[in-house]
A and B are shown apart, each in its own frame.
Chain A
């Protein structure tokens, strides 16, 4: 095949180009021709096709996502907002945290182990590229029914991939979710979150300023893996035999990534980096166009200098390769020797492949011929933007009308509790989480099954300023709620993550989100998306927590069947003195158990309706963000004042499941009575804005006073102690029986 240079492109204007095969629409291709004033070369087409793919350009979601900016609450904490590799927030004492959640759904279906592993690797590099030390990861996972055949292929592979890659990197895995629902059978969701820490005056950005500065590619060599992954894989549905797509999944090397982390931190410390960008989807295409577009505006790159694992790669393939564990830095010529010495120390290959210019053009050569000559901003920032049509799904009104009121309610609440507790969604996730290292680096204060993960800050970077502060993180998302009402569903996801952070004693500060939906070309799916974004943006405003970044994953559907709309929301909070953190559940005997918040008869989308009746209909629990905010304030202040000995969020499965989990935390039982007159509603309703806390008896009055101040309803339920969970007049279940039931479901299926 002869080289398609810019000169040749000008000479052969009518040569047909394979834009459709690269996922580009006719009008998009025409726009490229208009921008360039000629047909693109093969290499230019490669760049535009990946940069303008749904995955990289957010072309269908952009018009909606703008609300996260326009409706953003005023926040002094936000240092870097959306649009960078990850958001950065001020967490006090000169420290900043950067965090983001991102999907790797499609690759994880095709090749579960590598798909999930490289999902972790990718988000960790995003965090590194902000100048931070990555300090922990979490994963929000969705699988098909636990007993469905393909789940036995996908789940063990995904867990092993996260386990191997994350453990090998030395990052504690401190939480996340595992949810089963048949709607995910052909489209599992693997959403990986990473959080990093940095001094707030040392933020790095993806920018290439300063003509004459060098462009350095460092990390792993470039191979044939993941070629076209961004546009072919991430934007395609699985109607074809997935085997055919296997080569498009990237393969990860966590050892190289670990070296890359330590190498980058030493580079930052030596202050030899002007700008930096990780290579993720769209590889060299993305890094060069984005760096150039955000810098002085121009760049020259000699593609022959890119170190290759496969010497037969063509320039188009080098541009599209998604080989993992690579970074690109902009470095002044004077700092190049110091930069190279640090890379050598860590055995990280590094090569100068280009230079920053002020021409406003990104120019690439191959064997001396110019093969790319484009204005970089047109690829990076000026991709197509679609106002896709949307309308409420045809069956939505009928779905909402089919409420849970018609479902027969149980007599035997003991049996109901055990049935729910032993179901895959509410049972123990230890089969999964015991495969993750939660201790490495020694700063883990709380990890799963706690409501949120929590990390100490002061020991993260030895030598840096001491602080008593800690950060807490939780992710949540309920696809069933969002199916019933995507606006409310997204708000409920935020409310739950917010609450999960607050129950540990940390004040919620900022939000990241991963929006998992079906095809944006389906107006009904697009309605779900539009509603979810609108709901989330409105709720963030009310709760005062800005969205700092995130990710959209479309095309999670097989044929015409989409997954439940699944907005996954991550909330980061700060606790001023990490020693005041509140542990999960009943921590010791003789404590008063207190229920905060009101319970209503709400069963739409509930775990009870799902497990007992396989029913999904009606409306999800009512959202009350003011109540959520008041509850959060009570929890944070009570923790600060040392009132709380233990806590637990109420969510799926209601009070009954929260009580059982609180008993299981330390093996401490409780004797309680219910506040309402309908035991079933009291125990299993999923009303929001509720939490369980336990306090020393002498602290109860202070807690009640605090609740009064915030108008948070507060009910004393009883006392911790004994070897069983006893609910007066309803049931008494030995903690040992709860444990056995809770532990059973996943080992029974996955061995």
Chain B
């Protein structure tokens, strides 16, 4: 059987694409570079939107990337069930593209913050979290200036009611996110966005002092193999 193929998107200003591709590769899947200007998903089985400052965060984080040719292909594919993970700027792009509700705004403390952050997995039923257990606490780095999750009361209530809050910050909220929300999913559970960076927590030697990020990639691989 061929290895699962996970697309890694590069926009102008994307920074964590190399890390994302490495994490995919270490998990045993084949990373497939996807270029923002192409109307082509190259037949991948899943897509990773990595972090960075696409288009320099100009206008609003993710606001310009959302209109790229690749997104024209990605948005309908995600609505049709293609597994998509967006971290940091990728999460911001997913919100701008209305694949996920709400928005990421300037951190409460007004500073960019890079730290190893405690996170609780609230929903272990999504395409990207099935290898975790609900309630499990993990450590992943956060590194962002605009990660404060906000949504209107109704949306927030619906997210909580439907179990679509996938990750919550524990041991201190780094950015003032409502309900300590670190990540959410869509109704179908195939699209997940979060501010923390699983791709920086997959190796003992480098990155964060944990390998908890591996669970994201083993989760998606199992799903793709069993599909």
**Which residues of A line the B interface, CB within 8 A?**
160, 163-164, 167-170, 253-256, 258-259, 346-347, 433-445, 456, 459, 462, 578-579, 581
Interface core residue of B18, B52, B141, B145 (most chain A CB under 10 Å): B18
State whether B114 touches A456 (Cβ < 8 A).
no
Write out the residue numbers on chain B whose beta carbons fall within 8 Å of the beta carbon of A445: 205-206
Do A347 and B115 touch across chains, with their CB atoms under 8 A apart? no
A435 touches B18 (CB 8 A): no
- B115 with A434: CB separation less than 8 A: yes
For B16, list chain A residues within 8 Å (CB): 170, 440-442
B111 an interface residue at 8 Å Cβ cutoff?
yes
**A441/B205 contact (C-beta < 8 A), A255-B53, A347-B12 known:** no
Q: How far is the CA of A441 from the CA of B17 in the complex (A)?
A: 8
B 138-167 contacts with A by CB, 8 A: 141, 143, 145
Residues in A whose Cβ lies below 8 Å from that of B111: 160, 163, 434-435
Q: Is the CB of A437 within 8 A of B114?
A: yes
Pairs A–B under 8 Å by Cβ, sample size 17: A168-B13, A168-B56, A169-B15, A255-B12, A255-B56, A256-B56, A347-B12, A434-B114, A436-B112, A437-B112, A439-B141, A439-B197, A442-B18, A445-B206, A456-B206, A459-B22, A581-B205
- Nearest CB in chain A to that of B203: its residue: A442
For window 15-38 of B, CB contacts with A under 8 Å fall at 15-16, 18-19, 21-22
Chain B neighbourhood of A459, CB < 8 A? 18, 22
Interface residues of B in 47-62 (CB under 8 A from A): 52-53, 55-58
Q: Are A456 and B22 in contact (CB under 8 A)?
A: no
Contact of A456 among B53, B143, B205 (CB under 8 A): B205
B58 CB contacts on chain A under 8 angstroms: 255
Roughly how many angstroms separate A346 CA and B11 CA in the complex, as a whole number? Answer: 10
Cα of A445 to Cα of B22 in the assembled complex, Å: 16
Q: Is B118 on the interface with A (CB-CB < 8 A)?
A: no
Measured in the bound complex, the distance between the Cα atoms of B170 and A458 in whole Å is 35
Please report the number of residue pairs spanning A and B whose Cβ atoms sit closer than 8 angstroms: 91
Most buried by B among A160, A435, A437, A445: A437
A170 to B197, CA, bound (A): 14
Contact B114 A578 (CB under 8 A): no
Closest Cβ–Cβ distance, residue B131 to chain A (whole Å): 21
B199 pairs with A254, CB closer than 8 A: no
Given A442-B18, A443-B206, A444-B207, are A435 and B12 neighbors across the interface (CB < 8 Å)? no
A443–B15 Cα gap in the complex (Å)? 13
5 closest pairs, A vs B, by CB?
A255-B56, A170-B15, A442-B19, A439-B200, A168-B53
Distance A440 CA – B206 CA, assembled complex (angstroms):
10
Q: Which residue of A lies closest to B53 (CB)?
A: A168
**Contacting pair A255 B55 (CB below 8 A):** yes
Task: Give the interface centre of A439, A443, A456 by most chain B CB atoms within 10 Å.
Answer: A439
* Residue from the list B141, B200, B205 in contact with A579, Cβ < 8 A: B205
Contacts of B63 in A (CB 8 A): none
Chain A residues lying within 8 Å of B56, measured Cβ to Cβ, are 168, 253-256, 258
A462 to B33, CA, bound (A): 13
Name the CB-closest residue of B to A348. B12
Give chain B residues whose Cβ lies under 8 Å from the Cβ of A168. Answer: 13, 53, 56-57
For residue A451, give the distance in angstroms from its CB to the closest CB of chain B. Answer: 17
- Residues of chain B contacted by A444 (CB below 8 angstroms): 206-207
Residues of B contacting A254 in the complex (Cβ-Cβ under 8 angstroms): 53, 56
Interface members, chain B 96-114 (any A CB < 8 Å): 111-114
**Complex Cα spacing A554 to B27, Å:** 53
Residues of A close to B57: CB separation below 8 A: 168, 255
Cβ contacts B193-214/A at 8 Å (1 or 0 each):
0000101100101111000000
With a cutoff of 8 Å between Cβ atoms, the chain A residues found around residue B12 in the complex are: 255, 258-259, 346-347
Cβ contact of B53, chosen from A258, A434, A579, cutoff 8 A: A258
Whole-angstrom CA separation of A326 from B81 in the bound complex: 44
Residue of B nearest to A431 (CB): B111
13 further A-B pairs in the complex, CB-CB below 8 A; given A254-B53, A436-B114? A164-B112, A164-B145, A170-B52, A254-B56, A255-B58, A435-B111, A435-B113, A439-B114, A439-B141, A439-B200, A440-B16, A442-B18, A462-B21
Q: Contacts A255-B58, A259-B12 known; A440 to B112 CB distance under 8 Å?
A: no
Residues of A within 8 A of B52 (CB): 170
Given contact pairs A167-B112, A168-B13, A259-B13, A441 touches B19 in the complex (Cβ within 8 A): yes
For B18, the chain A residues whose CB sits under 8 A away are 441-442, 459, 462
Shortest CB-to-CB span from B203 to chain A, Å, is 8
- CB B64 to nearest CB in A, in angstroms, measures 11
Inter-chain contact B13/A255, CB cutoff 8 Å: yes
Nearest-neighbor residue (CB-CB) of B21 within chain A:
A462
Q: How far is the CB of B144 from chain A (nearest CB, A)?
A: 9
- Determine the distance from Cα of A347 to Cα of B199 in the docked complex, in whole angstroms: 28
Q: When chains A and B are docked, how far (Å) is the Cα of A629 from the Cα of B18?
A: 38
Q: In the complex, A576→B145 CA distance in Å?
A: 37
Give the Cβ gap from B129 to chain A, nearest Cβ, in Å.
21
Interface centre among A253, A255, A445 (most CB of B within 10 A): A255
Query: Smallest CB–CB gap between A666 and chain B, Å?
Result: 9
A318 → chain B, closest Cβ, in Å? 25
Give CA–CA (A525, B126) in the complex, Å. 66
Taken together as a complex, chains A and B put the C-alpha atoms of A513 and B64 apart, in Å, by 41
**Contact status of A437 and B206, CB under 8 A, knowing A255-B58, A347-B12:** no
Chain A contacts for B141, CB-based, 8 A: 439
CB distance from B141 to the nearest CB of A (A): 5
Contact A442 B199 (CB under 8 A): yes
CA distance A160 to B113 in the complex (A): 11
